[in-house]
Amino acid sequence: MSGTLAKLQRMADQIALNFTAIGKDNAVLATADHIAKFWDPRMKAAIFASDLSILSPIARSAVENLRAGHEPPPQTGATEFNAVDEVGHSDAG
């Protein structure tokens, strides 16, 4: 496995791990949404062509859904960030 592919797989797992607290189904959607929005086409093509069995279950489901052409809904409430001086959307603000 190339270093780049290993890095992409690690990134997908890290994204999925960040969303585990919102439950598996929502975490899959949020992970897929993040990859769809923020990964460039080359990154997506590389991970779509890779062996997905080594990914965490959430990351694997997210990538499988994207690879099958299923577009995730717009970002979930868990990924809506506060505006400056606003509170209530996340524990970070």
| Amino acid sitting at position 45 | A
Q: How many CB atoms lie within 10 A of CB 59?
A: 27
pLDDT score of 89: 54
Q: Averaged in consecutive runs of 10 residues, what is the pLDDT profile of the chain (93 residues)? A: 88 96 92 94 96 97 97 66 61 48
SS3 50: coil
Q: How far apart are CA 93 and CA 91, in angstroms?
A: 6
pLDDT score of 90: 53
pLDDT score of 18: 95
Q: How many CB atoms lie within 10 A of CB 35?
A: 24
pLDDT score of 72: 85
